[in-house]
Structure 1
């Protein structure tokens, strides 16, 4: 048990470190004004139109780093700083979210798979904490593994979802960076492209750490379910 707890603690430290680097990078690149002077909204609309996508709306949403693409209503939702920002960070994030819209328009299979899992994963996430707590208590006091087994099944679903998210995010960044590189009137220096690539790479690393964290949780509770941590 101690080994698993140490592993989870290490994952937590790594996650915090990656998040710290990402936020630092984003803050720095948010201060780097684009030579083209375009806002995140303008970058997003330009990329969508270049791909022949006219049925997706670019909207401003509250919160920091709350940017996302919603395939159900076809909206690219940009946080206020990104929507109005005219920085390297704003352009990179806007293009990344439009990368998801491009995936949707081309029926990218990993995005479709992920979108289909969202409702089930949302329900599982909301209930999972209580199921695991009750499951651990029951298996500890009565030896009944059923509730914990349900919790482990929920963790498995979330872990699968986390790993499916990885190709979706990496592919969206790849599409964004390729489009930015071929549109030098938007990012017209090599340094701007390098900074955009750096920002999106660290953003992707947050998803990698999250997936590994989900896997560590799954291993821990699975070992508890099968009694491998009882010595």
Structure 2
């Protein structure tokens, strides 16, 4: 039986290559700077606590969480959660990641508009990403009403794409705050600042890749709809 080749897959190739490059950069940066201990010897946990208190934030706790590089800030419970390597580590990589998550906590405390927007659309983005493919697949299978179903799927998926786009400035801002806080608070010394920037820039590239992948997938879905219902 002959199955037609899906030529729309070519839209994803640049995004896939960018994702592989971003993953390699993150792995390389973390491998290198996880071995570079900071001169002042603060652990990620100590850095997070120190930076939060220096910013006058006393209602955010720092917790140990499972997994590797599972670090995040939870705005609902007001907790900075750090993986073991980051929580207990005193490397340039560890303090950089800890400071980045504190950056999100500061955004939350200060009512940073982009973070508020991202949090507001998150439920819609989650719903859109989970429901979109039901309509897309149905639209590809059924001739009658298929065009409409694919359009619904594309609109739903667009919510997830919008979320990825809004995420970028939020992450870049948190990283910028992190480097400045590490420097001004004396957690790192001058020659360690370069390493902190490299770690955080590598991590930020993964968000760029995620956005690029989402946009490429959206373009591909539109191409599939147009080809299917000419």
Does TM-score exceed 0.5, indicating one fold?
yes
Q: How does 1:45-124 map to 2 (within 5 A)?
A: 45-124=49-128
Number of residue pairs matched by the alignment: 226
Partner of 1:24: 28
Partner of 1:8: 12
Cα distance in 1, alignment partners of residues 108 and 12 from structure 2: 35
How far off its partner does 1:202 sit? Answer: 1.0
How far off its partner does 1:136 sit? Answer: 2.1
**Could you say what the CA RMSD is over the residues aligned between the two structures, in angstroms?**
1.8
Cα distance in 2, alignment partners of residues 10 and 222 from structure 1: 17
Pick which of 48-57 and 10-19 moved more.
10-19
Residue segments in structure 2 that go unaligned for 5+ positions in a row = none
How far off its partner does 1:224 sit? Answer: 2.5
Cα distance in 1, alignment partners of residues 155 and 26 from structure 2: 31
Residue segments in structure 1 that go unaligned for 5+ positions in a row = none
How far off its partner does 1:24 sit? Answer: 1.7
Cα distance in 2, alignment partners of residues 143 and 25 from structure 1: 50
Partner of 2:193: 193
How far off its partner does 1:176 sit? Answer: 0.7
Secondary structure of the equivalent of 1:214?
helix
Q: What are the Cα deviations for residues 162-214 of structure 1, in whole angstroms up to 9, with x where unaligned?
A: 01001100000111111111122x112x2211000001011111111111111
Partner of 1:213: 213
Q: What are the Cα deviations for residues 17-45 of structure 1, in whole angstroms up to 9, with x where unaligned?
A: 21121122112211111111111000001
Cα distance in 1, alignment partners of residues 111 and 12 from structure 2: 36
Q: Is the 8 A contact 2:168 2:207 kept in 1?
A: yes
Partner of 1:36: 40
